[in-house]
Amino acid sequence: MLKRQNKLAILSLTNLIFLSFVLPSRGNDISSVFYISKNDNDNQIHYGIRLNQNCLPEGSNPVYVYWVRENKTTGNLLSVEEPAYGISSQSVSGENVEVILRFFQNRGIQKPISFKIFKLNNGTCKAQAFARINSSQKQLSNIHIFLKHIFRNPLTGSTIGGTVVNLTLVSPNREEEVISCNSNCRFGI
């Protein structure tokens, strides 16, 4: 019989191994540049970027997306979640990447998000996201989605349908722009 400490050590090691496959991270990658939250739970969808040793975007699709659940576990998006939170397109130009989110595209919202990468004097890579907030380009820290008429899976409690009311783009200094949903607002069942 394993002691409690040994069980915890095995569980921690198992989680570490799992995360290394789910969220591949190399020395210069930035695991979270901005995130999406919703009013129906404390889960978050994070957007990170893969960078090479020179702090430049790695490959033609360097931006990646993953879940951070309210219990602090992480995981990839499910195929049914891709239309909501996936990336429609990425365009790389030097140290900049422009991303179109499917959530915006599917609702007719024109809000490209620019990832700007730079190298600090100490050699550390840094990335920030920018979007038009209230008609001017500002740094983006998060997007909050407000849902209503939420349908949940009775077995898992996960959201399987509802209506998007609006979304709020938030800058690090708490400037906000609220965008009402006017197209394709109902989702799921």
For a pLDDT cut of 90, what percent of the chain falls above it?
71
168 in a structural domain: no
17 in a structural domain: no
Count of structural domains, the chain: 1
31 in a structural domain: yes
Say what the pLDDT of residue 25 is.
Answer: 47
Say what the pLDDT of residue 167 is.
Answer: 96
Of 25 and 31, the one with more pLDDT:
31
* pLDDT tens digits, 90-146: 999 999 999 999 999 999 999 999 999 999 999 899 999 999 999 999 999 999 999
Q: Which long-range contacts (CB under 8 A, 24 or more apart) does 50-56 make?
A: 50/24, 50/26, 51/26, 51/117, 51/125, 51/127, 52/28, 53/27, 53/28, 54/119, 55/28, 55/95, 55/117, 55/118, 55/119, 55/125, 55/126, 56/94, 56/95, 56/117
- pTM given for the model: 0.82
Indicate whether 186 pLDDT > 90.
yes
86 in a structural domain: yes
Name the average pLDDT for the chain: 87
Of 153 and 143, the one with more pLDDT:
143
133 in a structural domain: yes
60 in a structural domain: yes
4 in a structural domain: no
Q: State which residues form the domain around 61.
A: 22-139
Which distant-in-sequence residues (6+ apart) come within 8 Å of 103 by Cβ?
A: 36, 84, 85, 109, 145, 167
* pLDDT tens digits, 54-63: 999 999 999 9
123 in a structural domain: yes
Say what the pLDDT of residue 34 is.
Answer: 98
